[in-house]
Amino acid sequence: METQKSYETHQSGTLYLVPTPIGNLGDMTYRAVETLKDVDWIASEDTRNTQKLLNHFDITTSQISFHEHNTKERIPYLLELLENGSNIAQVSDAGMPSISDPGHDLVVACIEAQITVVPLPGANAGVTALIASGLPPQPFTFIGFLKRKKKEQREQWEMLKNKEETMIFYESPYRIKETISNLIIVLGPERRVVICRELTKRYEEFIRGTAEEVLEWLEQSEVKGEICFMVEGNREPEEAVNQFFPEDLKKHVELVMDQEGLAAKDAIKQVAKVRQLKKQDVYQAYHEL
């Protein structure tokens, strides 16, 4: 066990976790600007990207590159600077440090070394999108990025399908269509989904509807920009596994055939396995027997 009094005098330096705008530079706080000016070093996920921000606010503090590919070599170096009395601000490309970036590893290392860690409040894409989504804002679960491989991602959806809380994800515009397709195959076409793209920027856009409706929109639209999407929680988690209408099963089989290029027989087998139903029941629903 350990306790931290953040603003007492310490012999070592302090690690400040400084959020940066997720699009609109007007969302940078006064405190964040002052902190970046006052510290000795800024540990940045992308120094070129961060330099644009620093230039905008006339911040001249030197940067140190710190990203997911150099954490092993950088963390000992940053700890040494902190232990020698330097104050460091850690920033990600956009939003909160430690959320879907390597900042968490540095935080853990600092806590283990009894170095003070001070968080600053600020922009966060997931929560900002959530409050305008129309989905229940609490409780919610932040998942971040899903697995990229189709099989692994569907296994993730299997693990998440009975969660009752709203779920928040980040995704690439190049993968969002396949991700929603995988969602439908496991969670069903009627689960409500909200996609938010270009949050806080000029072309900010929300797409709200059932998973099936959202997929149809994605099929007809060119999607660009940063994406955050939210999925409605399961309203009947204990009963959700086996309560599906026959027409939903037919749509499910057709979707698997279309997305996977499978014959009806193989698609029926896959749907039965995913939904934990008898193959005969899915067969009869698909052929409307």
Task: Calculate the dihedral angle through the C-alpha atoms of 222, 225, 226, 229, rounding to the nearest 10 degrees.
Answer: -20
**How much is the pLDDT for 250?**
83
Token output for 97? 């440090």
Domain end position, chosen among 100, 123, 146: 123
Whether residue 55 is found in the same domain as residue 72 = yes
Neighbours of 224 (CB within 10 A): 11
Q: Is 251 found in the same domain as 222?
A: no
Asked if residue 246 has pLDDT above 80, the reply is no
Instruction: Judge whether residue 132 has pLDDT over 70.
Output: yes
The per-residue pLDDT of the chain, averaged, comes to 91
Judge whether 103 lies within some domain: yes
Q: Is residue 260 very low, low, confident or very high in pLDDT (cuts 50, 70, 90)? A: confident
pLDDT at 142 over 90: yes
Residues 133 and 215 occupy one common structural domain: yes
Choice among 117-131, 151-165, 206-220 with the minimum mean pLDDT? 151-165
HEC per residue, the chain: CCCCCCCCCCCCCEEEECCECCCCHHHCCHHHHHHHHHCCEEEECCHHHHHHHHHHCCCCCCEEECCCCCHHHHHHHHHHHHHCCCCEEEECCCECCCCCCCHHHHHHHHHHCCCEEEECCCCCHHHHHHHCCCCCCCCEEEEEECCCCHHHHHHHHHHHCCCCCEEEEEECCCCHHHHHHHHHHHHCCCCEEEEEECCCCCCCEEEEEEHHHHHHHHHHCCCCCCEEEEECCCCCCCCCCCCCCHHHHHHHHHHHHHHHCCCHHHHHHHHHHHHCCCHHHHHHHHCCC
What is the pLDDT, as a whole number, of residue 247? 56
148 and 175, same domain (yes or no) = yes
Classify residue 241: in a domain, yes or no.
Answer: no
pLDDT on residue 198: 95
Average pLDDT over residues 17-38: 97
Residues 279 and 86: their CA atoms lie apart, in Å, by 64
With bands split at pLDDT 50, 70 and 90, how would you rate the model's confidence at 237? confident
Q: Domain range spanning residue 71?
A: 14-123
Convert the pLDDT of each residue in 143-164 to its tens digit. 999 999 988 998 899 889 999 9
Residues 81 and 26 in one domain: yes
Give the pLDDT of residue 243: 46
Q: Are 201 and 170 in the same domain?
A: yes
| Distance between CA atoms of residues 189 and 181, nearest Å | 9
Average pLDDT over residues 200-214: 96
> By mean pLDDT, which of 56-70, 87-101, 134-148 is the weakest?
87-101
Please report whether residue 188 resides in a domain: yes
Examine the domain organization and report whether 110 and 141 are in the same domain.
no
Burial, 198: exposed, middle or buried (Cβ in 10 Å; 0-12, 13-18, 19+)? middle
The first and second tokens of residue 110, run together, are: 């600092």
Confirm whether 179 is domain-assigned. yes
Average pLDDT score over residue span 58-77:
95
Last residue of a domain, one of 231, 259, 277: 231
Say if pTM beats, i.e. exceeds, 0.85: no
Number of domains in the chain: 3
If you average pLDDT over residues 95-103, what whole number do you get?
83
pLDDT, mean of residues 223-237: 92
- For residue 242, pLDDT over 90 is answered with no
pLDDT the model gives residue 241: 44
% pLDDT > 70, the chain: 96
Mean of pLDDT values over 38-63: 97
Give yes or no for residue 256 having a pLDDT over 60.
yes
Identify whether residues 279 and 202 lie together within a single domain. no
280 inside domain: yes
CATH number at residue 51: 3.40.1010.10
What CATH number should be reported for the domain holding residue 159? Answer: 3.30.950.10
Same-domain status, 166 and 110: no
Residue 212 has pLDDT above 50, yes or no: yes
Does the pLDDT of residue 211 top 50, yes or no?
yes
- Tell me, yes or no, whether 105 lies in a domain: yes
Residues 176, 255 share a domain? no
Handedness of CA 113, 123, 45, 104 (dihedral sign): positive
At 178-192, the pLDDT tens digits run: 999 999 999 999 999
